[in-house]
Structure 1
C-alpha cells in the first residue's frame, strides 16, 4: 500500500469513528506513520484528503447505481436491486458509509456537508430518474417521484443504520432488501 493509500485508509477510519471535524492533521499523520508534509504533498489539506476519499469511494458506486437504476419496466425488481446495491456497498465500505451518513446531517455551512452534498444529490437524481420513468407505466405515481426518492432513500439508510447497530448480516441480505422493498411498495400490512 502506498503512503497516499495509507493516509486515506487511516483518515477514513478516524473520520468514521471520531468525526471529520474532531480529527486533526496531526492525528492522521501519526496514525499513518508519516509527517505532515507527506499529507500536504498528496492532498494539499485535510479538505483535499476528504475529497479524495469521497471520489475514490463514491465514483465506482455511482457508476454501479446508474446501471442498476435504469428502469426496464419492473419497478419492484429495480427497487430491490437498488436497495441491495446500497446494502452491499455499506457492508463492504462500512467506515465510509457511516461517514457519509453523518455528513448528510452536518450543519449546512460546514465543510463536511458541502463536500458530500454533490454525491448525495447525484444519488437522488439517479433514483428520481428511475421513478420518473416508472411514472410513465404507472400513472398513479405521477407527480410524486421526488417524495418517493426521499422516502426510499430513507428506508435504505434506516436499514443500513440498523445493520450497523445489530452487526447482523441478515439485516442487509438480499432477502432483507426484498422485504423492505415490499414494505415500501405495499405498506406495513404487506
Structure 2
C-alpha cells in the first residue's frame, strides 16, 4: 500500500513585505504544497472556521501554547488551516495573539477536499468547511492522522476529542 501524501495545491496567502510601507505592508504570495512540506516534519491541524467557539477557545490556542514543545520534539512547523481566506486567517490570528503557529488559508477548500475533509455545513449557514483533524506530515507523507468522529455523518457540532495539541504531541513523543 502506498502511503498517502498531502494533496498538491496552491495556497493563496498574504505575506509581509518589508519594502512596502503604509497601512498595508502585505502582498499576495502563492505557496505550493511542495514548498510547505518537502523535506520537513510538519504538524497540520484543520478546523471548521475562524472565530468559531471551539476553534478559537481550544483548538488554535492549544497548538500555539505547545508550539515550542512541538519544535523541541523535532517538528519544523505547526500549521493551522481552515476554509477561510487570507484576510480572515490573518485577522483571526491577530485577534487571538497567534505568533508562532502558521495561519494557512485554504480559501477555496482545495486542500480540505484533497484530504477528504471538506464537509458541507450549509445547514449551519457556513457553506463548505474543513472537518476538524490534525496530522503529522513527514516530507509530504501523512504519517499520522487524527480525525474527529462524525466526518461522514457531519453532525451540527464538531467535537475536539482527538485532534487537539496534547494528543498530537503525545503521539510525536511516543513515536520518537
Q: TM-score, normalised by structure 1?
A: 0.26
Identify the structure with the greater helix proportion.
Answer: 1
The structure, 1 or 2, with the larger RCO (C-alpha pairs under 8 Å, 6+ apart) is: 2
Q: TM-score, normalised by structure 2?
A: 0.27
